[in-house]
């Protein structure tokens, strides 16, 4: 079917999917044996019935659970994600504040990881079993096996504290004002504002966490690229292409790389979603105010509105990346277009 129809259909299906996500998130977070009262009120406040009653009334916790869900869904339909119990601000505002930081970090990490991974995987496949290949395989193994928090602390210690090559934790230096907010992505906003000092500073702060976060992705993509390329290069049509006299470059790009890209694109898409959802440790160590930390705090304090808001946002991100990956399949693989 024409691609636009396909995209439209997928997007429409997203809506019931998101509602389903809220239902699951709601059920799971309420199934946990715990009470937001315990999580959010101090020890003495918790034993004062007046304070507890006021708290429950404020957050609608005194209503029966199904009613709480209906209230949530009704508000959701109006675009109101409720207020976070922990931050006491609208969840939408919290997401607006914390999501761009994670998107910036994850995007930088995936760019770094994919580009480096592709290059290393390609080289490794082309010069198979050479020293280069062995070196790359060791490095990629290192990337996928090292615990990310250990890598992060090590990187901070060596490159920031000892060598002074990179900036420290946080998104900007202390005392440096961020540019006027348009997207929330400091790099983009700095470019839009023409503020080159902030741009350089933001990039300097982005470098280390992005590289550390991208280490796993690099390793993963290297391995997938390598194995996909090796498989494709072993195909008959590649031999035919060489035999025909096609220049190596054309063969590699038009035939080999393009066909190898399908599994690679899958992994990149999947990794991006994972990166966006799984940055807690990096955000913690690099003091990066992102959605990972927000989600962690929300879940440990049984902050139901925040939990559901974050679940939906992450689900939405996965849905969109999956859609983009599927669209890329269309572009890459003519066989899918023939239907």
Per-residue contact track with other proteins, 197 to 236, x per CB under 8 A? x-xxx-xx-xx-----------------------------
Go through 46-76 and write b for each residue having 16 or more CB atoms within 10 A of its CB, e for each that does not: beeeeebeebeeebebeeeeeebbeebeeeb
When asked if residue 193 is in the footprint of other proteins (CB under 8 A), the reply is no
90 strand-pairing partners = 83
Minimum CB distance to other proteins, residue 279 (Å): 13
- The encoded tokens of residue 311 equal 């679940």
Taking CB under 8 A as the criterion, the residue among 12, 20, 28, 58 binding other proteins is 58
Q: Which of residues 125-164 bind other proteins (CB under 8 A)?
A: 153, 156-157, 160-161, 164
Per-residue contact track with other proteins, 101 to 120, x per CB under 8 A? ----------xx--x--xx-
Nearest to 12 by CA among 331, 226, 323: 323
- State the CB neighbour count (10 A cutoff) for residue 170: 14
Tracing tokens 């990179």 back to the chain, one arrives at 166
Q: Which of residues 263-302 bind other proteins (CB under 8 A)?
A: 284-287, 289, 293-294, 300-302
Sign of CA dihedral 238, 244, 249, 253: negative
Q: How far apart are CA 230 and CA 78, in angstroms?
A: 52
**Closer to other proteins at the Cβ: 14 or 284?**
284
Burial (Cβ within 10 Å: 0-12, 13-18, ≥19) of residue 160: middle
Go through 139-148 and write b for each residue having 16 or more CB atoms within 10 A of its CB, e for each that does not: bbeebeebeb
Minimum CB distance to other proteins, residue 109 (Å): 12
Q: How far apart are CA 6 and CA 322, in angstroms?
A: 13
Taking CB under 8 A as the criterion, the residue among 17, 323, 332, 336 binding other proteins is 332
**Closer to other proteins at the Cβ: 171 or 318?**
171
When asked if residue 173 is in the footprint of other proteins (CB under 8 A), the reply is yes
Taking CB under 8 A as the criterion, the residue among 3, 9, 27, 38 binding other proteins is 38
When asked if residue 335 is in the footprint of other proteins (CB under 8 A), the reply is no
Minimum CB distance to other proteins, residue 175 (Å): 4
- State the CB neighbour count (10 A cutoff) for residue 19: 14
Stretch that binds other proteins, among 12-20, 73-81, 136-144, 167-175 (CB under 8 A): 167-175
Q: How far apart are CA 72 and CA 281, in angstroms?
A: 30
DSSP 288: -
When asked if residue 91 is in the footprint of other proteins (CB under 8 A), the reply is no
Q: Which of residues 233-262 bind other proteins (CB under 8 A)?
A: 249, 253-254, 257-258, 261
Minimum CB distance to other proteins, residue 148 (Å): 13
Minimum CB distance to other proteins, residue 12 (Å): 26
- State the CB neighbour count (10 A cutoff) for residue 193: 15
Taking CB under 8 A as the criterion, the residue among 17, 128, 133, 169 binding other proteins is 169
């Amino acid at each position: 079917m024409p691609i636009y129809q396909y995209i439209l259909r997928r997007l429409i299906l997203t809506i019931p999917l998101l509602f389903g996500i809220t239902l699951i998130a709601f059920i799971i977070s309420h199934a946990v044996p715990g009470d937001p009262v315990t999580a959010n009120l101090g020890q003495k406040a918790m034993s004062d019935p007046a304070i507890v009653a006021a708290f429950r009334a404020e957050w609608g916790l005194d209503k029966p659970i199904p009613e709480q869900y209906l209230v949530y869904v009704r508000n959701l339909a109006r675009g109101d994600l409720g207020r976070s119990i922990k931050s006491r601000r609208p969840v939408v505002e919290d997401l607006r504040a914390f999501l761009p930081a994670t998107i910036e970090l994850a995007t930088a990490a995936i760019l770094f990881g994919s580009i480096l991974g592709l290059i290393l995987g390609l080289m490794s496949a082309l010069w198979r079993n050479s020293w280069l290949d062995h070196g790359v395989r060791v490095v990629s193994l290192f990337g996928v096996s090292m615990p990310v928090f250990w890598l992060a602390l090590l990187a901070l210690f060596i490159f920031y504290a000892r060598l002074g090559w990179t900036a420290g934790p946080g998104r900007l230096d202390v005392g440096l004002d961020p540019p006027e907010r348009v997207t929330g992505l400091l790099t983009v906003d700095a470019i839009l504002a023409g503020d080159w000092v902030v741009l350089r500073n933001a990039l300097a702060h982005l470098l280390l966490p992005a590289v550390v976060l991208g280490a796993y992705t690099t390793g993963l993509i290297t391995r997938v690229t390598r194995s996909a390329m090796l498989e494709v290069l072993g195909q008959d049509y590649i031999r035919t292409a060489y035999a025909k006299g096609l220049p190596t470059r054309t063969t590699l790009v038009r035939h080999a790389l393009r066909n190898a890209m399908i599994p690679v694109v899958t992994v990149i898409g999947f990794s991006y979603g994972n990166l966006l959802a799984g940055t807690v440790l990096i955000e913690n160590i690099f003091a990066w105010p992102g959605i990972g930390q927000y989600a962690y705090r929300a879940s440990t304090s049984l902050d139901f509105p925040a939990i559901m808001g974050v679940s939906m946002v992450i689900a939405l991100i996965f849905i969109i990346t999956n859609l983009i990956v599927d669209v890329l399949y269309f572009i890459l693989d003519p066989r899918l277009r023939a239907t």
